[in-house]
Amino acid sequence: MHNRGGGSGGGVISGGSMSTLSREENNMVMSSEESSSYPDESDLELGLGLSLGGGGGKAKNKQPPPPAATGGSWDQYARILTAKDFPSVVSTKASSSSSSSSSSVTKATNNGSCGTKRTAEPPSSPPGRSAVSQVVGWPPIRTYRMNSLVNHAKSPVTEDFFSTADKCESKNIIMDKSNHGGNVNNNVAKEKRCLKASLFVKVNMDGIPIGRKVDLNAYSCYKALAHALDDMFRPCAAVGTKRSNVEEQVVVAATRQPLKSLDGSSDFVLTYEDKEGDWMLVGDVPWEMFLNSVRRLRIMRTADVNGLGPGTHERNRKQSTGPI
Amino acid sequence: MAYSFPEEVLEHVFSFLSSDRDRNAVSLVCKSWYEIERWCRRRVFIGNCYAVSPDIVIRRFPEVRALEMKGKPHFADFNLVPEGWGAYVHPWIRAMSAAYPLLEEIKLKRMVVTDESLELIARSFKNFKVLVLSSCEGFTTDGLASIAANCRNLRELDLRESEVEDLSGHWLSHFPDNCTSLVSLNMSCLGSEVSFSALERLVARCPNLRTLRLNRAVPIEKLPNLLHRAPQLVELGTGAYSAEIRSDIFSNLAEAFSVCKQLKGLSGFWDVVPAFLPAMYSVCSGITSLNLSYATIQSPDLVKLVSQCRNLQRLWVLDYIEDTGLEALAASCKDLQELRVFPSDPFGAEPNVALTEQGLVSVSEGCPKLQSVLYFCRQMSNAALVTIARNRPEMIRFRLCIIEPQAPDYLTLEPLDAGFGAIVENCKELRRLSMSGLLTDKVFEYIGNHAKKLEMLSIAFAGDSDLGLHHVLSGCESLRKLEIRDCPFGDKALLANAAKLETMRSLWMSSCSVSFGACKLLGQKMPRLNVEVIDERGPPDSRPESCPVEKLYVYRTVAGRRADMPGFVWTMDGDKSLTFS
């Protein structure tokens, strides 16, 4: 069993803050909220419960070690760092006001010049879609399921026998396009409207073994997509993977220019594989139609671009085996 | 010292031990028991493929017949782990092809599997029987063709939710005519149409087939052909459940279902046309597991179907079921153990269905055996959570996703600390918990104090300070997996509880406030942990040490740092320098 104040992790709270963390069930108020009082930063001294191994010696024994959780030996306690040693990395208490805006989801109190990119801070979202749609990986729905939902929206259904009224508001959707040349019932289209979700596709760039994934539904047009890919792959090339020096120079040099893949003024072109397995140039068809048929993207060297179109999928199909 | 029993007797006794825990305990008794046990261990489960190396496993357990292994962290399911992170199975297959010629089973989850690996499996293991690839990726239907063609005794081929590059449906035709051993086939994740006649013949010649999960491309009109050839099926996954409304299609379907007296589980149901649902009614009373999570049908149709399934134990459904449907479920299905409700429109700004916390409360009231919940909704209250907790103290898995991050109690506008606190306080057997909504450090205090059997905890957009993380790491004695995103947790709690991390399988923290300096320190001080920093902005030492890292993945390992890290992953090593692999 474990020391009530310290717990099994080996961390020990010293000083006046002990009572805050002790488990006194009587004080647990379940039905009403009272504002918690947090100990002062300066009171909080978290000793590092690190076993320095046999003979590690230099730790000062500040507190009696708690009983071990795992049976390992807890000979020494090393007070290596305290709150005082760190710049204030603890963020301020989250505001308990309404959270309708997702932009308050994280508080980066660290050195602002780190340029921390918070995936949780959403740009303004398209009308009809909540801010949530801009947060990566939230809500936590598996890609497999989300892609199936999207496919629901795209697949034709011959009859519609929904018995309740359509509750969906009019939204910008993919489904509209499948009405072209199909037997799709308008009711079905309206019902399926609700199912627009992420559309993650793989993106590979020539010369970079590791691919990425982008959510095409996060963009409203080709230009936005091209910009995003440019941002994504230019720094990536610099970070890179294992490569020879020469190759590295080539890749870095090539990607120092913006992709500008739509106007053909760079070394790379953006292409995509459609439902039929053909590789096409991105930008030829209306955006919605593109979303409907794209399977994956490839940023191809301009030199390799000749002969894009039906029948090229055999040549261009690549298998990634990963490092072995 | 004389041994009481000859080795063969001990080995025979050990053969009755199937749980890894028991076998591990047996191994610790004495050296000879360790030796005897290791030679007769046939099944190995590796929860983190990087926690150990193929060589170490093979050296200790020379006679393994079944391997089960997991790769990427759970948050990879939500695109939080960049492509190329790792979890390649090939080194394992290569090593095992030499060491375990008698290998029969491979079960993988969240790993990268290539056609080359599949071909090697097909060539190397003459008695290969079971291949389960759950949420895996990296292979194509060509790899499947190798398996089909070469594994003469194949019993199970299950591709659940894997991402397969679907070149064609031709792979299925590679099963030789003399293959009659199939017991389970799950191809539901594939897009391409397979040759129906090949499928039909395969099903017909496999008398032991119990599980058949078709893909969407198999049309409903053809389903009766398969059911007639496999009336012994226990689990069926349909293809697209829609067709022109024709009475002959309906009656054929109804007749085919009526022949399947053993059916216990149903899934599939893409593109459902409700008019065809009554064709299934004859089997409903035997159904214990129903996955309607792709069925975009409305509440009344759902209710009609579900209320026929009086023996239902597991239901997965879309939120089209609504509160009224869940009330009906609670009234009809008293054996219900597991409920999962998925959102039909997670990104819509407004709710599209009348599903609220009330639905879950109804089920918690009406279903006395409810122990496992996954629920997506748009509003929640402390009162509802307290009610659920008091109704169902035997809850084992509770995962609640309120779609809007940091949404408060919609009635009182307070944090949901009290509600989740009630869950952990009442549900003493709780093993898995995922939380959402507005949560302060208080909820973590409750968790640390009460959730003594909690093994896996998922946290997002919650907490105020390091105290929150500290409560969890110091209080949750059984914690094995902790995954955190977008929380203001930083260095102090992590470093103070560094030793705790060795008692866990893994810790994931992304978009938190853990500094690069702290990561380095952790890596230096804890040699038996791999401390991996994932950062796509470039090398962490190109920024100040106090700068928070994008993502941190810490796991215990006896294999040292891995050699296959991509350019955006750095391991914090003891030698005080940034190491690339």
Burial class (CB in 10 A: 0-12, 13-18, 19+), A281: middle
User: What is the structure's pLDDT at A304?
Assistant: 75
The boundaries of the domain holding residue A210 are 200-234+257-304
Residue B402 lies in a domain: no
Q: Read off the pLDDT of each residue in A131-143 and give the average, rounded to a whole number.
A: 81
Q: Supply the pLDDT for residue A201.
A: 85
Nearest to B404 among A70, A99, A148 (CB): A99
Structure tokens at B579: 């190491």
Non-local (6+) Cβ contacts of B541 within 8 A are: B516, B578
Question: Å from B294 to nearest chain A CA?
Answer: 7
Task: Please tell me the predicted confidence (pLDDT) of residue B501.
Answer: 97
Q: What is the pLDDT of residue A168?
A: 33
Probe site for chain B from A130, A160, A188, A293 (most B CB atoms < 10 A): A130
Instruction: Look at chain A and report how many structural domains it folds into.
Output: 1
Q: Chain-centre distance of CA B218, in angstroms?
A: 26
Asked if residue A271 is part of any domain, the answer here is yes
Q: Which domain holds residue B511?
A: 490-580
* pLDDT-wise least confident of A78-87, A148-157, B403-412: A78-87
Q: Give the residue among A83, A105, A98 at the shortest CA–CA distance from A38.
A: A83
B299-308 in b/e form (b: 16+ CB < 10 A) is bbbbbbbbbb
A-interface mutation test, from B218, B511, B568, B569, most A Cβ less than 10 A away? B511
Q: Looking at the complex, report in whole angstroms how far the Cα of residue B74 sits from the nearest Cα belonging to chain A.
A: 10
**Which among A21, A104, A82, A99 is positioned nearest to B441, based on CA atoms?**
A21
As a residue count, chain B comes to: 581
Q: Tell me the pLDDT tens digit for each residue of A76-132.
A: 333 333 333 434 333 333 333 333 333 333 333 333 344 444 444 444 455 555 666
Output B207 or A221, whichever has higher pLDDT.
B207
Write out chain A residues lying below 8 Å of B487, CB-based: 106
Q: pLDDT at position A129, please?
A: 57
Whether A276 is covered by a domain: the verdict is yes
Between A39 and A168, whose confidence is greater?
A39
Query: Is there a domain that residue B20 lies in?
Result: yes
CATH number reported for the structural domain that contains residue A292 in this entry: 3.10.20.90
Q: What is the pLDDT of residue A246?
A: 38
Instruction: Give the span between the Cα atoms of A134 and A198, in whole angstroms.
Output: 10
Long-range contacts of B326-330 (CB under 8 A, 24+ apart): B326/B355, B326/B359, B326/B360, B326/B362, B326/B363, B327/B359, B327/B362, B327/B366, B328/B303, B329/B303, B329/B362, B329/B363, B329/B366, B329/B367, B330/B362, B330/B363, B330/B365, B330/B366, B330/B367
Q: What CATH number is attached to the domain comprising B4?
A: 1.20.1280.50
Q: What is the mean pLDDT of residues B353-379?
A: 97
Lowest mean per-residue pLDDT among A205-209, A250-254, B491-495: A250-254
Is residue A264 left, alpha or beta, with left meaning phi > 0 and alpha meaning psi from -120 to 50?
left
B169 touches A at CB < 8 Å:
no
Tokens 């591990």 sit on residue: B24
Domain presence at residue B1? yes
Residue B102 pLDDT class (50, 70, 90 cuts): very high
Q: Is residue A56 part of a domain?
A: no
Q: Chain A partners of B461 at a C-beta cutoff of 8 Å? A: 105-106, 120
Within 10 angstroms of residue B465's Cβ, the number of other Cβ atoms is 27
- CA of B295: which chain A residue's CA is closest? A152
State the average pLDDT over residues A166-195.
Answer: 35
pLDDT, residue A198, reads 62
Q: Is A229 a domain residue? A: yes
Cβ–Cβ gap B486/A209 under 8 Å: no
**Domain assignment present for B542:** yes
Percent of chain A with pLDDT over 70: 27
Chain A hits for B520, CB-CB cut-off 8 Å, are none
CA–centroid distance for A169 within its chain:
28
Of B242, B477, B500, the CB nearest to A157: B242
Q: Which of A267, A207, A270 is nearest to A237 (CA)?
A: A207
Token reading at B581: 């692999």
Tell me if chain A has a CB within 8 Å of the CB of B159: no
- Is residue B279 over pLDDT 50? yes
Mean pLDDT of B494-516: 97
Q: What is the DSSP string of B450-519?
A: H-TT--EEEEES--SSHHHHHHHHHH-TT--EEEEES----HHHHHHTGGGGGGSSEEEEESS--BHHHH
- Residue A179 counted as domain residue: no
Answer whether B224 touches A (CB < 8 Å): no
Q: Please measure the distance between the N-terminal and C-terminal CA atoms of chain A and give it in whole angstroms.
A: 45
Please tell me the predicted confidence (pLDDT) of residue B256.
Answer: 96
Find out whether A79 and A47 touch, Cβ atoms under 8 Å: yes
Residue A308 has a pLDDT of: 64
- B329 CB burial (10 A radius; 0-12, 13-18, 19+): buried
Which pLDDT score, from 0 to 100, does residue A146 have? 82
Q: Which amino acid is at A68?
A: A
Does some domain include residue B409?
no
In a domain? residue A101? no
Average pLDDT on B489-509 reads 97
The whole-angstrom distance between residue B163's C-alpha and the CA centroid of its chain comes to: 15
Gap between the Cα atoms of B135 and A293, Å rounded:
24
Partners of A279 in the β-ladder: A273, A309
- A321 assigned to some structural domain: no
| Cβ-defined contact of B415 to A155 (cutoff 8 Å) | no
In a domain, B566, yes or no: yes
Q: Quick: pLDDT tens for B47-97.
A: 999 999 999 999 999 999 999 999 999 999 999 999 999 999 999 999 999
| DSSP code string of B54-93 | HHHHHHH-TT--EEEEE-S-GGGGGT-S-TT---B-HHHH
pLDDT of residue B444: 98
φ, ψ (nearest 5 deg) of residue B53:
-110, 160
Of residues A189 and A216, which shows the higher confidence score? A216
- The answer to whether position B401 is within a domain reads no
Cα(B186)–Cα(B239) distance, integer angstroms: 12
What was the pLDDT predicted at A133? 62
Q: Is residue A266 domain-resident?
A: yes
Number of domains in chain B: 2
Nearest in space to A173 (alpha carbons), one of A143, A194, A152: A194
As a whole number of Å, the end-to-end CA separation of chain B is: 49
B10-53 confidence digits (pLDDT tens): 999 999 998 999 999 999 999 999 999 999 999 999 999 999 99
Chain A contacts in chain B segment 413-452 (CB below 8 A): 413-415, 417-418, 421-422, 425, 434, 438, 440-442, 445-446, 448-449
Distance from C-alpha of A195 to C-alpha of A154, rounded to nearest angstrom: 10
Q: Which residues of B396-415 are buried (b: 16+ CB within 10 A; e: fewer)?
A: bbbbbbbbbbbbbbbeeebb
- Asked if A148 lies within 8 A of B415 by C-beta distance, the reply is no
**pLDDT on residue A283:** 86
pLDDT at B187 over 50: yes
Whether residue B184 is contained in a domain is answered as no
ipTM value of the model?
A: 0.89
Q: Do B567 and A242 touch (CB under 8 A)?
A: yes
Q: CA B230 → CA B62, B210, B260, B262, B360, distances in Å?
A: 39, 8, 8, 10, 37
**What confidence score (pLDDT) does residue A132 get?**
65
B88 touches chain A (CB under 8 A): yes
> Binning pLDDT at 50, 70 and 90, where does residue B374 land?
very high
Helices (H), B314-380: 322-332, 357-366
Query: SS3 helix, strand, coil % of chain A, rounded to 5?
Result: 30, 10, 55
Give helix B417-426 / helix B441-450 axis angle, nearest 10°. Answer: 0
CA B260 to chain centroid, in Å, comes to 29
Instruction: Give the residue among B295, B112, B259 at the shortest CA–CA distance from A192.
Output: B295
Instruction: Choose, out of A32, A77, A141, A233, the residue to mutate when testing the contact with B (most B CBs < 10 Å).
Output: A141
Give yes or no for a contact between B89 and B69, defined as CB atoms under 8 angstroms apart. Answer: yes
What pLDDT is attached to residue A291?
Answer: 87
Q: What is chain B's mean pLDDT, rounded?
A: 95
Interface A-B: count of C-beta contacts within 8 A: 374
Residue of B nearest to A198 (CA): B347
Residues of B in contact with A69 (CB under 8 A): 477, 500, 503
Q: Where are the beta strands (DSSP E) in B189-263?
A: 211-213, 235-237
Poorest-pLDDT segment among A5-14, B284-293, B355-364: A5-14
Residue in chain B nearest A70 by alpha carbon = B503
Confidence of residue A135 (pLDDT cuts 50, 70, 90): confident
